[in-house]
Amino acid sequence: MMDAILFSANPSMVDIDDARKHLEGHKELYWEVFFPIAEKAKDQFSFPIFGFIHIKRGQVEYRALVADIFPHSADHYESESVAARVKPKSWRQLYNNDPIERARPWKNTLVMTEIIPFSFDTYKF
């Protein structure tokens, strides 16, 4: 059995179609989350793990493959050598042009290599 993580996507903050298009031309996507993941807990995962993405106040709509998890870094948006490789252009533009986005308290980055449709009633987990 594969390890898994369940997390939310807020449609007002993230466009999953942009994330999926990014992965069509890049090996990985960096997706920030607000929740902490202790290094000790992370060491217990056997990567890759499944990431089940539910839409805020809704059900699971996507399944991702998460290859790694590490602390958030502003370089993921600001460093041209990193950002273009790991973030959709629309996400970088929003972050770099909106002070509210820059101030969000991101904790960790999920390194995704795949996002596919996977509709599932979250209450069945």
> What are 101-118's pLDDT values in tens digits?
889 999 999 999 999 999
Longest dimension (CA), the chain: 42
pLDDT digits (tens, 9 = 90+) for 64-88: 999 999 999 999 999 988 999 999 9
Is 124 part of a structural domain of the chain?
no
Kindly report whether the peptide bond that precedes residue 48 is cis, defined as omega within 30 degrees of 0.
yes
- Residue 91 in domain: yes
Total domains, the chain: 1
Q: Which domain holds residue 88?
A: 4-118
Look at strands 108-120 and 29-33 and give their pairing: antiparallel
Span 1-19, pLDDT tens digits: 678 898 989 888 889 999 9
CATH number of the domain bearing residue 23: 2.30.130.30
Domain contains 123: no
pTM of the model as a whole: 0.90
Helix (H) or strand (E) holding 65: strand 60-71
Q: What are the angstrom distances between the C-alpha of 22 and each of 18, 38, 49, 75, 119? A: 6, 28, 20, 18, 21
